[in-house]
Each structure stands twice: as C-alpha cells, then as structure tokens.
Amino acid sequence: MLAQIGQLLVDVVASFLVYLLLARFLWQWLRVPFRNPLGEFLVATTNWAVRPLRRVIAPLAGLDLASLVAAWLAQMLALWALSALRGGEFGAAPGAAAAILAATAFVDLIRYSLYILIFAVIANVVLSWVNPYSPVAPVFDAMTRPFLRPIRRLVPPIANVDLSPLVLLMVLQVLMIPLAHLRSLAGGVF
C-alpha cells in the first residue's frame, strides 16, 4: 500500500514537472508570448531547473535545450524511482538498463509533447467559440498556428467552420499509436 502511494506521488509530481519543462521548451520553439499569466507561471516554476543547465547547455538554433534536457532528466529520474518502488532491479546489466531508461524517457517526452499539443488544439477551439478575447487565447493560437496553417491550405473552411483542428487531432492520434507501441516495448522494464 505504501509503495502504491509512493508511486502515485512520484508519478504525479514528476509528470507535472516534465509537462511544465516541455511546455517551456515548446513555447520558446513556437515563439509563444510569455507575457501572460500562464507564461509567468511557467517561468516561475521551471527557472530553478533551467537556469543552472543554461550555464552548461547552450541554445541551438533558437531552441532552449536546457529546458528539454531538464525534462528528459526529470523523466529518467521518475522512471528510475517508479521502477525502484515496484522492486525493479538493474543488477546484471546496468548499462543496458540505463540505455533503455534513456530511450524510454525520450519516447515519453515525445508522447507528452503530443499531449500538450492535443490540449492546446482543444483549448484553442473551445476558446474561439466561448471567449475569443481571453488573455490566454493568443497563447493557444500561437501554439497551434504552425501546425494548423498547412492543414488549412488543404482543408478550407466549410460554411465558415474550420475543420483543420479536427484533422490535426486525428494526425496527432495517429502519431500516438507507434509511440504507444514503442513505450510498451519497455513496459516490462519501466
């Protein structure tokens, strides 16, 4: 029972941290404005992990690699902690286990990034109908616009209804299928 409570706490705290770090990376990559309540929260909650890494890891082509590496390290640590709480051992081949851990964390980061995009698309659609002048509406628009723009060229609005978010959600769901398969390959270990 205590192990299950520990697993739940580790999973919730680590996932929240990884999502915040990934969102920070995605926002900088997609040039999402940080001058809003969500952006300020994101910076305030992740600066402690990102700033020290920026001294060691330089940005590459405008990408904030420190946020990405921090998310990857946090996910690896979470996977290791969850495995330890379940009684997993790495005895005979610690090098192979470390490689599997790193690869699984990488696949998880891609999955989590797709989840963030799915959430952004849904939030953007809902806000466009309910409250298009919300202070966070430009955030979700900036996050989804680079992905929706090419789809809008192929699928024009029908009777002023934009179906491109629906197409993007389908594409993201299709991308989740091979990632789920890759993740299940390491399921026995982590």
Q: What tokens appear for 175 in the block? A: 């991308």
Looking at the structure of the chain, the number of domains it has is 1
Domain that holds residue 47: 2-185
Whether 63 maps to a domain, the answer reads yes
Residue whose token pair is 């600066």: 47
As a whole number of Å, the end-to-end CA separation of the chain is 19
- In tens, the pLDDT along 15-38 reads 999 999 999 999 999 999 999 889
Q: Indicate the pLDDT class of residue 151, thresholds 50, 70 and 90.
A: very high
Whether 190 maps to a domain, the answer reads no
Question: What average pLDDT does the segment 153-170 reach?
Answer: 92
Whole-number percent of the chain with pLDDT over 70:
95
Whether 67 maps to a domain, the answer reads yes
189 sits in which H/E element: none
Q: Phi, psi (5° rounding) for residue 92?
A: -70, -35
Structural contact between residues 47 and 70, judged by C-beta atoms closer than 8 angstroms: no
Question: Does residue 144 carry a pLDDT above 70?
Answer: yes
Question: What average pLDDT does the segment 147-152 reach?
Answer: 95
Q: Phi, psi (5° rounding) for residue 57?
A: -110, 115
pLDDT of residue 26: 95
Residue whose token pair is 């205590």: 2
Whether 41 maps to a domain, the answer reads yes
Question: Does residue 83 carry a pLDDT above 70?
Answer: yes
- In tens, the pLDDT along 40-75 reads 999 999 999 999 999 999 888 888 899 999 999 999
Question: Does residue 90 carry a pLDDT above 70?
Answer: no
Whether 94 maps to a domain, the answer reads yes
For the chain, the C-alpha Rg in angstroms (whole number) is: 19
Average pLDDT, the chain: 91
Write a three-state SS string for 59-98.
Answer: CECCECHHHHHHHHHHHHHHHHHHHHHCCCCCCCCHHHHH
Question: Does residue 84 carry a pLDDT above 80?
Answer: yes
Question: What average pLDDT does the segment 141-163 reach?
Answer: 93
